[in-house]
Structure 1
Amino acid sequence: MRGLTFPDAVLQIEGISPVPITTAVAAIQQASSNARLELPEPYETSNRAITYLCKRGISRDIIDFCLNSGRLYESRMHHNAIFVGFDQQGTPRYAAIRGTTNTRYMGEAPGSDKRYSFAIPAEDSSPELHLFESAIDLLSYCTLAAISGKDWRQSHQLSLAGIYAPKERKEEHIAPAALTQYLQTYPQVDRLVLHLDNDEPGRLSAAAIRQLLSPVLSISDEPPKNGKDVNEELMNCLARRKERIR
């Protein structure tokens, strides 16, 4: 109503945080603006990345959507799966790297800007945003939605590129950079659904986000019901379906 940005609005709410959130975001922006994203060179096919994601239970339709939209590809060196995040102009600004072999390698491309982490925006305007720790969890949720007959493109999906580590003191919490940026880009979002891991770090992160943003967003905390993370929940769901078929 006062024409404030999302971080400024949070800052104006009494008792939420004495830390100037806009200053924190500006510092991140300054640090990121000087770095150039170095995307790994793509391989001519993405067969290994596809095979890896299928083994993790991800729907082939969702994999194809990510491939066709440039959000996913396979690197020439090491044949890693590369998950790309874009800014509002469609320019790649972030890349998460996930090993497709037994090494379980996880990393980020040099110059990655965490404000633009891997995400799948809603196909149409939507007030709902689902939040995850990783791209794999995000795609797992989309697969679970498809299994249950839901249209997974009807809401926003955003990964945090890893666990969000809140400050030790509650009054020093600031929102994750990727979440703050996304809410600025899509100001119509007024409902946040948390799908962070069902372990101590995930629960602490969820509690911190709720404590910080619940005055300005409707927040629902929905950790995995059957597993540590959303991908484990998906794999358990597929295993149960397979048993029923037998």
Structure 2
Amino acid sequence: MPYVTLEQIERAKQMDLLTYLQTFEPQELVHFSGNVFTTRTHDSLKISNGKWCWWSRGIGGRSALDYLIKVRDMTFPDAVIQIDGQAGIVPPAPLKAQEPAEPKKLLLPEKNENNDRVIAYLTGRGIHRDLIDYCMETERLYESHPYHNAVFIGFDRKDTPKYATLRGTTNRRYMGEANGSDKHFSFSIPSRKESRRLHLFESAIDLLSYGTLELLSGRDWRGDNCLSLAGIYKPKKNIEESTPPAALIQYLEDFSQIDGIVLHLDNDVPGRLAAKTIKVLLSPSFAVIDELPKRGKDMNDYLKIRLGLQRPKELERL
């Protein structure tokens, strides 16, 4: 077994994974989005803010040393020599600036002169007016012109609109996205105070339904962070090869204090598969709880049943 000195170990511990790959294995480094990178060999391994996480295996770390041992299966001495030996032979040349990917330009629909139809549509689905008003005041929601769709906006950390999902109010079957939408930044509502828990939903309406249920139960509907996904999450056939939804990865990168996730996905085959996959990919790095709607297929079904706006399916069959 090769011998390494304490000085070599200390030097090896100082190198983060991004610097190591940029300097010694640039062909292995792939830009994912913003300040997030992945690797060509493992696309579910994400590197950001001095840390890395291999989502499909639930392992992570900070240093290049951790990566070589946990991902490359190197022995500790071999990993130290790989880093320190490289550093001793190859001078740290200035890094070539990577050509930034052209940012997507979000094309938001024109605003209508009022939001009357969106308000009527959402209250008709049981959403409390307090939540609707909050979303409109914070510019997360408005009514489009000329089609009167409900437009739900997602923002980045600088409060710049990056994503918009559209829901028809006249044609109730219509669902779409605005051109240039970035799925990493879907519709969300932050907690009133810092919270370590994130609630995850398939749609903006399910998110607002959960908030309404919290309000009706006398709890702070903004007690925790809430995030909706940009559509139904479809994992790969082999769960272990899947990557968590882009919006979820981005949110966990942006809000590193979160250590618990509550899933409120649909009670149907796609929803159950999505919940199972996310739980497999994120455990044990996060405490993941799967909470099905108590009645109906989704959170909005349950809200409407509770308010008497919808009959339970089992009663309809009688």
- Counting only pairs closer than 5 Å after superposition, residues 94-133 of structure 1 correspond to structure 2 as 94-133=163-202
Question: In 2, are the aligned partners of 1:10 and 1:213 still within 8 Å (CA)?
Answer: no
1:171 aligns with 2:240: yes
Q: Tell me the residue number matched to 1:7.
A: 46
Moved over 2 A (4+): 2-10, 12-16
SS at match of 1:152: coil
Question: In 1, are the aligned partners of 2:118 and 2:150 still within 8 Å (CA)?
Answer: yes
CA distance in 1, matches of 2:216, 2:147: 32
1:82-115 CA-partner distances (Å, limit 9, x unpaired) = 0000000010000000000144200000000000
CA distance in 1, matches of 2:57, 2:121: 47
Write 1 or 2 for the structure with the bigger share of helix.
1
Question: In 2, are the aligned partners of 1:37 and 1:112 still within 8 Å (CA)?
Answer: yes
Runs of 5+ in structure 1 lacking a partner? 21-29, 241-246
Q: Tell me the residue number matched to 2:214.
A: 145
Structure 1 letter corresponding to 2:234? A
Instruction: Find the partner of 1:56 among 122, 125, 129.
Output: 125
Q: Tell me the residue number matched to 2:149.
A: 80
Structure 1 letter corresponding to 2:46? P
Shift of 1:235: 0.3
Q: Tell me the residue number matched to 1:154.
A: 223
- Between the aligned residues of both structures, percent identity stands at 55
SS at match of 1:138: helix
CA distance in 2, matches of 1:12, 1:170: 11
The structure showing larger relative contact order (alpha-carbon pairs under 8 Å, at least 6 residues apart) is 1
Structure 2 letter corresponding to 1:139? L
**RMSD over aligned Cα atoms:** 2.5
Question: In 2, are the aligned partners of 1:71 and 1:84 still within 8 Å (CA)?
Answer: yes
Runs of 5+ in structure 2 lacking a partner? 1-13, 18-35, 37-44, 60-70, 72-99, 310-318
Residues 53, 73 of structure 1: alpha-carbon distance in 2 compared, 3 angstrom cutoff:
same
Q: Highest CA radius of gyration, 1 or 2?
A: 2
Shift of 1:34: 3.3
Count residues with an aligned counterpart: 229
* TM-score (normalised: structure 1): 0.87
